[in-house]
Amino acid sequence: MNTVHAVCLLGFSAFERQALTAHFRLALQRQPAYRLVDTLAEARLAVVNADAAAACDEIARSRREADTVYIGAHAPPAAQARLPRPIDVLAVLRELDAVLLMNVGATPDHAAAKSPPAMPAPAVVPTPVEPMRTVPAALAPASMLSELADLFPDRQEGPAAAEPRCDALVVDDSEIAQRFLLRRLADLGIRAHAVGTSQEAIAYLARHRVRLALLDVELGPDSDHDGLNLCRLVKRDFTPAPVVGIVSAHHGPTDRVRGSLAGCDAYLGKPLQASELSDLVARARRSESRRRQRAKPLA
């Protein structure tokens, strides 16, 4: 059964609200699905006019910046997800998907909507987006995302140094999703690089050998290929091919079959489950270890 997440719109004009409402009705047919509610207390997520000071103040008072998508030129420094005008509804949905990705282990809104008092505002701030000392609160430019990986070496002193190196590539057109996955991989001891388009991914793989690739399915209009086609190309054109995980908000049975046909090694849904990512990293490490064993010269 498809999970429906409640979304509140704040600070928009009547015309913008009417247009967004029409598109969100269509979003009920996608996965994950979104429905509009009237108040922030009912909502799992929020979409806010960043140029409306009163709306931004309401989000700040409720400490809801972590699950809010800001649209406009004046998003607050604490904003995790922001988009420029004019409003691109598909981009809004992708950013909502990315915010869901960061809400690992959060309670689905359809359960919370039955009893709003059970969800005080502080409780909805997900653990993964607590302030990070190594990453500024504002979104880093795409060109800086790869530099974040240098803060997290993939091997440590002592026994951990014996683990096989397992560099990773993250391909996602959402900066918030990139940042989240970079940090999650770093927590697992993986040095990762992030890019936003299929072209950048192919160019990076042509220059660097990685053992793990995490690909979003929807890579936006700037990409020549979606994640499934990119997976096929990676598995066909690069030797040794990395272990490939599809990370997508669309993870129904049909989506998973498409991923399998594209050659992916695992299909991870959004919100991302920490155990699934850990299992995939372990698989990539085993693959790297076997490759190294085969490459050893005979005594």
- Asked whether the beta carbons of 242 and 206 are under 8 A apart, the reply is no
pLDDT digits (tens, 9 = 90+) for 44-57: 999 999 999 999 99
Q: Provide the whole-model pTM.
A: 0.59
Domains of the chain, earliest start first: 4-129 (3.40.50.2300), 142-295 (3.40.50.2300)
- Asked whether the beta carbons of 108 and 270 are under 8 A apart, the reply is no
pLDDT digits (tens, 9 = 90+) for 99-141: 887 764 444 443 333 333 334 444 444 444 343 333 333 333 3
Return all residues near 189 (Cβ < 8 A) that are at least 6 apart: 152, 154, 155, 156, 160, 163
What tokens does 76 get?
């607050």
pLDDT digits (tens, 9 = 90+) for 190-229: 999 999 999 999 999 999 999 999 999 999 899 999 999 9
Average pLDDT score over residue span 81-95: 88
